[in-house]
Amino acid sequence: MKIEMHVNGRPVSGEVEGRTLLVDFIRHDLRLTGTHVGCDTTQCGACTIHMDGAPVKSCSVLAVEAQGAQITTIEGMANADGSMSAMQQAFQDCHGLQCGYCTPGMVMAATALLKETPKPSEAEIRHYLEGNICRCTGYHNIVKAVQSASGQDVTPVAAE
Amino acid sequence: MYDFDYDRPGTIQDAVASLKAEEAIAFSGGQTLMPTMKQRLAMPSKVVSLMGIEEMKGVRLEGSEVWIGGATTHATVQRELAESYPAMASLAGRIGDPSVRSRGTIGGSVANNDPSACYPAGTLASRGVIVTDRREVPADEFFQGMFMTALEEGEIVTAVKMQVPERAHYAKFIQPASRFPLTAVFVAKFADGVRVAVTGASEMGVFRWHEAEEALSSSFDAGAVEALATPDGTDMISDLHGSGAYRAHLVKVMTKRAVAAA
């Protein structure tokens, strides 16, 4: 089947089977490998992208279901001049990652949260990120990064 | 997963026709179906997506009744019912996680009737009616046991209708790994009675706790529940997460919490 969609603002097309997962189309056909596959079972959130503005786990969306959709991946998050987005910068500033495997999904989910709730409380952040699993950080610095990206004061993180 | 033919009809009529194919399955968001297919527990030869059917989408308030299209996502229900039926919006906003809520639909949830799903409890408590391509079935008759419903071969849930109660709350005790309810209770108080629907506890899927309904209809107070005997846990789900007796205990606790918060 032929599919067409917009990914990070660019029109793309490809030939897929009915069973092709959106994440595989993104990684293998489009070669956008910033979107990660962690569990492949809708649990971990490493493959989170935006589909028509809403967060989805791309391992649990058929590529054909994205026909005509507006897709944004982690590669589309940087500012126009190539600098990191506020959310990405906050993850760096707050040490919101260690191994980094979950980070693309975390950034996509957290960015979606701020679109819905510009100044989320700590509890709202933790509730929203329930579907994104990190096995390194213990989440505290991720939560701080989201608070920081939303312009809220956060307790300073230990010195470098 | 094994490959399959894929169809995305634009009308209910076309979807019904498409589902007549051998081993065809309706796809309504896929947040349960896709993991099931990956594990090869489902191997349909044809997937008929209902996600392109506009007449099955949206939320409409008609007097004291809410009409929710079968292909309406949890995220949309959460947003659209925030003011008119906040307890149901809260239920929708606590299903899975934001990504699941972006894709999963109410029609898919009630048609699947997972014994630990949230919507069957909310629908049953809200005096719901399941609308299909060929008839309307009261929730009391629709949910028939674990993963069992009144749906016939190829029948599609096109909408769910609910009555908006005076007061309601959904109290959910989550199983922390799956985040499905270990046991959850939806309490809905109407002018002429109370409904108490329980999910996650029974081997027979969602059920109404009639003793609590009677007690709460005469006195809508957590104390009225406290005076009741704990329901019989002998036939409740027993697994590594909790025994039947534990779930029975949770039924009472969550009912009290739901009443207190309603």
* Structural domain containing residue A138: 86-149
The answer to whether the CB atoms of B4 and A18 lie below 8 A apart is: yes
Q: Tell me if A113 sits within 8 A of A128, measured CB to CB.
A: yes
Among chain A residues, the shortest Cα distance to B94 is held by A127
Query: Which CATH number is correct for B167-261, 3.30.70.260, 3.40.50.300, 3.30.390.50, 3.30.1280.10?
Result: 3.30.390.50
Check whether A110 has a pLDDT greater than 90: yes
- Choose the closest CB to A56 out of B3, B51, B102: B102
The answer to whether the CB atoms of A130 and B5 lie below 8 A apart is: no
Structural domain contains residue A15: yes
Q: Tell me if B129 sits within 8 A of B139, measured CB to CB.
A: yes
CATH assignment of the domain containing A138: 1.10.150.120
The whole-number average pLDDT for the span B222-239 is: 94
> How is residue B199 written in tokens?
């999910």
The answer to whether the CB atoms of B97 and A45 lie below 8 A apart is: yes
The answer to whether the CB atoms of A65 and B4 lie below 8 A apart is: no
Enter the CATH code of domain B5-49.
Answer: 3.30.43.10
Structural domain contains residue A154: no
pLDDT value for A152? 95
Q: Model-level pTM?
A: 0.95
Structural domain contains residue A104: yes
Structural domain contains residue A126: yes
Q: Is the ipTM of this complex over 0.90?
A: yes
Residues A38 and A12 in one domain: yes
Q: What φ, ψ does residue A91 adopt, rounded to 5°?
A: -60, -40
The angle at the Cα of B100, spanning B198 to A88, to the nearest 5 degrees, equals: 135
Residues from chain B contacting residue A55 (CB–CB below 8 Å)? 98-99, 102
pLDDT value for A156? 63
Cβ contacts below 8 Å, chain A against chain B, sum to 71
Q: Tell me if A17 sits within 8 A of A75, measured CB to CB.
A: no
Residues A107 and A41 in one domain: no
Distance CA A88, CA B190 (A): 49
Domain boundary residue, one of A76, A99, A124: A76
pLDDT value for B185? 98
Distance CA B29, CA B130 (A): 18
Give the model confidence (pLDDT) of A3-57 as tens digits.
999 999 999 999 999 999 999 999 999 999 999 999 999 999 999 999 999 999 9
Q: Which residue has the tokens 């329980």?
A: B198
Structural domain contains residue A66: yes
Q: Does B79 touch chain A (CB under 8 A)?
A: no
> How is residue B66 written in tokens?
């809410």
Q: Does A130 touch chain B (CB under 8 A)?
A: yes
Residues A93 and A67 in one domain: no
What ranges make up the beta strands (E) of B191-249?
A: 193-199, 207-208
Domain boundary residue, one of A58, A76, A94: A76
Structural domain contains residue A36: yes
What is the topology classification, in CATH, of domain B54-163? 3.30.465
**If you write DSSP's letter for every residue of A70-89 in order, what string do you get?**
EEE-GGG-S-TTSPPPHHHH
Q: Does B63 touch chain A (CB under 8 A)?
A: no
Domain layout of chain B by residue ranges: 5-49, 54-163, 167-261
Q: Tell me if B159 sits within 8 A of B131, measured CB to CB.
A: yes
